Structure 1
Amino acid sequence: MHRLCAAAVLAAAASAPSGARSQSAPSTAQAPRPWDQNQNGMRIYIWAGLKSHWAGQHDYPQFLADWSKLLTEHGAIVDGALHSASPADLEHTDVVIIYKGDAAYLSDEQRAALQHYVQRGGGLVSLHDSLCGPDPAYFATLVGGAKKHGEVNYTLGAPVAYNVVDSADPIMKGMSNFTLYDEAFYNMTWAHDPGIHVLATTAIPGTPSAGAHKGEVVPQIWTYEHTLAGGQPARAFVWMQGHEYANFANYQIQQMLLRGIAWAGHKPVDSLVDYVPPPPEHPQPAAAPR
């Protein structure tokens, strides 16, 4: 009985018109993009990491969630993960934002992919301790400066007083000298020929870990323009704070980061800050009077 029923169903399917059968076939068409996304936006990959440190500190997963949303609202097309981008991910990426502890620990595959990406002119944005790793001389060739893991080269939490040294740079538009509670780094390895362009420095605050480095003036915000051998001109933007996650919501910091990201991607520096989303394709009907 059951075998006869199954045979009848198969026979009916085989004799049905081809159009009828195709209606149940899986579609290969892509889903339409939401109306409020900018189809021509710059393409950003956020490389985040697992949460570390105390509550409210080094919240890399929260950054991935918050800034995926914020950057999309500012007209970008955002991808990202708690792991580095694959070569396929990087193929159409304009900027990689790295907010991950010790991201400069690169496997051979990661190093090759990042090297190729920067050689073709891809932009990098390094936040806080992303530039820490075992080979600061190499990572400095990508972002302009780096620090060696295992060395005492940090203040831990302390008041970080910014001195904006290039207020004319468009990335620093509206940025004033102010102090935020975060962490500053010193004992840096710097790139040369070319070197970095310093946007803001801080005098290292006197903490137990700073020791004799108290008062030393060290760049904390910079840009880096360079060309790897055989490649295209590339850009990197670095902000070395972000120890305290709440500082990402600081208005001056947020505007600066949006401009630095756009600049690193070879886009107009205000393109993310000034983005205005399109009006809804299907406006909501007016509410009925009560």
Structure 2
Amino acid sequence: MLFSKNTSKLWLSVLCLFGASSGLYSCLNTRQTAKQTAAAVNKPRVLVFSKTAGWKHTSIPFANATIQKFGQEHNFLVDTTKNAAYFTDDSLRHYQAVVFNSTTGNVLTQEQQAAFERYIQAGGGYMGIHSAADTEYEWPWYNKLMGAHFSSHPLQPGERKATVEVLDKNHPATAGLPDAWPRTDEWYNYKSFYPDLKVLANLDENSYEGGTNGANHPIIWYHEFDGGRAFYTGGGHTPESYSDPLFLGHLWGGLQYAMGNGKPLDSSKAYAIAVPEENRFVKTVLINDLSVPMELAVAGDGRVFFTEFGGNLSVYNTQTKEHKLVHKFDVINKGGTGLIGVTLDPNFAKNNFIYVYYTPPKAEEPYLFHLSRFTVKADNTLDVASEKMLLQVPVQENSGSHHGGSLAWDKEGNLYLSTGDSTTPFPSLGYSPIDERPGAEYYSQDAQRGSANTNDFKGKILRIHPEPDGTYTIPEGNLFPKGTDKTRPEIYTMGHRNPYRIAVNP
């Protein structure tokens, strides 16, 4: 087929025009796709986590679908998962809020827990639905974030009608609710409430049977915690909840709060580190058949000194694997008295001073706890004649065995001693043991004479500075300046029931 010169030029022009148009379309289409991708990346994002290691609620897929619908209606992205592998720094940084959708049991490893803590510390948000309160009982940080833990719920039937009393409508989760909101759900009783919760609604226990929290039964709350935000609703057990307009509005308001105002996460504020796995430890029994071991102290050379309630002060040598009795104290064992505390002088490697808290025999009350210093001899026996008694604490036999007796040091060389109130708690039936009746038989039933008494050593943390000659001085900063009338300058803190074991940090 033959073409004229003009015809060839015409086809060449058409082809060039088509090519230019195709290139323009391709370029525009690429730009449009890039814009869509960028828009998707910049959209807010929510992670809905529904892993269960215990009871699996049938309402979980309904809650997932509801939050996905929220995302469609309010222009944010929603990822739903049961996979705890999402809990890494690189993953969580993309989310404005993480929802625990009726999770149960232990659902995260220590590494994953630490990543979630860092996410909240950086300014992230959390929302818990229903059995999010039945999750991670052995993770104290989560209990504080969540606000409380599940304790129980009514049975037969587990789901029942009750009235939610709305206390605060100045929050998006409750703004659209009536003052009294009757609804059917599975109503939890709670324990271990975190103290700073902002409670939005209580459950009226008069409106149903099976409540155990009493007149103050929080069921919806929020708070700021550790740099982030947390919201919880006790509702959402039933699938029908997610077709209830009032509950949907309530849930959306809670999610709005958890998502925050769009402020970027600040990872510089995150500080959590993973708690090591417990299975990295190997348990090795060093000594068996001890009789009420009380306290131990470890020397720099690896010797472990420890007390037994009946009066044995012993040592275990980690180098030779040998166990030896250092000294058998003659003690009186009445109402919790005996040999309790032990600690080593900070300069033990040079002076071999050891401090013990014990009650030597005495015919009648008050029995006297001695805080004494001894010297450990080279053969790991006690130089009994070296005793320097620093102070005495009088106690009674009818004491509830509240004698404390723990010893600890701070970096300034100050020695701390914890003492119990030596007051029996039983006659007061769980109430504060205050009994002002005259008579010796009531004396040990009144904590006012001890832990509330500024002129008595009982129910206190005492702080002293031992001196080389066996005396002590009073450090600056104790509760009462030396010379203050009707006080003891050794008192560091007071009002304690039975501070059994203490530590000084740092």
TM-score range, shorter chain: 0.5 to 0.7
Aligned equivalent of 2:145:
142
Identity, % of aligned positions: 22
Aligned equivalent of 1:219:
218
State which structure, 1 or 2, has the greater radius of gyration over its C-alpha atoms.
2
Structure 1 residue 246, shift from structure 2 partner:
1.2
* Separation in structure 2 between the aligned mates of residue 160 and residue 137 of structure 1, nearest angstrom: 30
Question: Structure 1 residue 248 and structure 2 residue 242: aligned?
Answer: yes
| Aligned match for 1:97, one of 93, 99, 104 | 99
* Separation in structure 1 between the aligned mates of residue 34 and residue 240 of structure 2, nearest angstrom: 35
Aligned residues: 224
Give the 3 Å change call, closer, same or farther, for CA 203–244 of structure 1 in structure 2: same
Structure 1 residue 127, shift from structure 2 partner:
0.1
Aligned equivalent of 1:186:
189
Q: Secondary structure at the match of 2:108?
A: coil
Gaps of 5+ in 2: 1-30, 263-506
Structure 1 residue 143, shift from structure 2 partner:
2.2
* Separation in structure 1 between the aligned mates of residue 34 and residue 249 of structure 2, nearest angstrom: 31
Higher relative contact order (CA 8 A, sep 6+): 1
* CA offset digits 1:30-57 (Å, max 9, x no partner): 966879x876442101112469979xx5
* CA offset digits 1:182-239 (Å, max 9, x no partner): 01111321113xx1000011123544xx37x285441111111122xxxxx2111101
* CA offset digits 1:43-78 (Å, max 9, x no partner): 101112469979xx5321343234223322221121
Q: Is the 8 A contact 2:53 2:107 kept in 1?
A: no
Q: Is the 8 A contact 1:206 1:214 kept in 2?
A: no
* Separation in structure 1 between the aligned mates of residue 77 and residue 123 of structure 2, nearest angstrom: 18
* Separation in structure 2 between the aligned mates of residue 103 and residue 187 of structure 1, nearest angstrom: 16
Q: Is the 8 A contact 1:136 1:146 kept in 2?
A: no
Q: Secondary structure at the match of 1:102?
A: coil
Aligned equivalent of 2:67:
67
Q: Structure 1 or 2: larger strand share?
A: 2
**One-letter identity of the residue aligned with 1:181:** T
| Aligned match for 2:117, one of 112, 115, 118 | 115
Aligned equivalent of 2:173:
171
Structure 1 residue 157, shift from structure 2 partner:
0.8
Structure 1 residue 265, shift from structure 2 partner:
1.7
**One-letter identity of the residue aligned with 1:132:** D
RMSD of aligned C-alpha atoms?
3.2
Structure 1 residue 244, shift from structure 2 partner:
0.5
Q: Is the 8 A contact 2:62 2:242 kept in 1?
A: no
Give the 3 Å change call, closer, same or farther, for CA 50–103 of structure 1 in structure 2: closer
Q: Secondary structure at the match of 2:103?
A: coil
* Separation in structure 1 between the aligned mates of residue 34 and residue 204 of structure 2, nearest angstrom: 51
Give the 3 Å change call, closer, same or farther, for CA 116–245 of structure 1 in structure 2: same
* Separation in structure 1 between the aligned mates of residue 248 and residue 53 of structure 2, nearest angstrom: 21
Q: Is the 8 A contact 2:48 2:101 kept in 1?
A: yes
Task: Please report the TM-score for the alignment, with normalisation by the length of structure 2.
Answer: 0.40
* Separation in structure 1 between the aligned mates of residue 35 and residue 77 of structure 2, nearest angstrom: 11
Q: Is the 8 A contact 1:96 1:125 kept in 2?
A: yes
Give the 3 Å change call, closer, same or farther, for CA 216–234 of structure 1 in structure 2: same
Aligned equivalent of 1:202:
203
Q: Structure 1 or 2: larger helix share?
A: 1
**One-letter identity of the residue aligned with 1:267:** N
Q: Secondary structure at the match of 2:261?
A: coil
Aligned equivalent of 1:235:
229
Aligned equivalent of 1:260:
254
* CA offset digits 1:128-164 (Å, max 9, x no partner): 00121323743222222223xxx5x112211121100
Q: Secondary structure at the match of 2:252?
A: helix
* Separation in structure 2 between the aligned mates of residue 215 and residue 78 of structure 1, nearest angstrom: 38
More deviation in 104-113 or 72-81? Answer: 104-113
Q: Is the 8 A contact 1:201 1:221 kept in 2?
A: yes
Task: Please report the TM-score for the alignment, with normalisation by the length of structure 1.
Answer: 0.67
Q: Is the 8 A contact 2:46 2:99 kept in 1?
A: yes
Give the 3 Å change call, closer, same or farther, for CA 50–145 of structure 1 in structure 2: closer
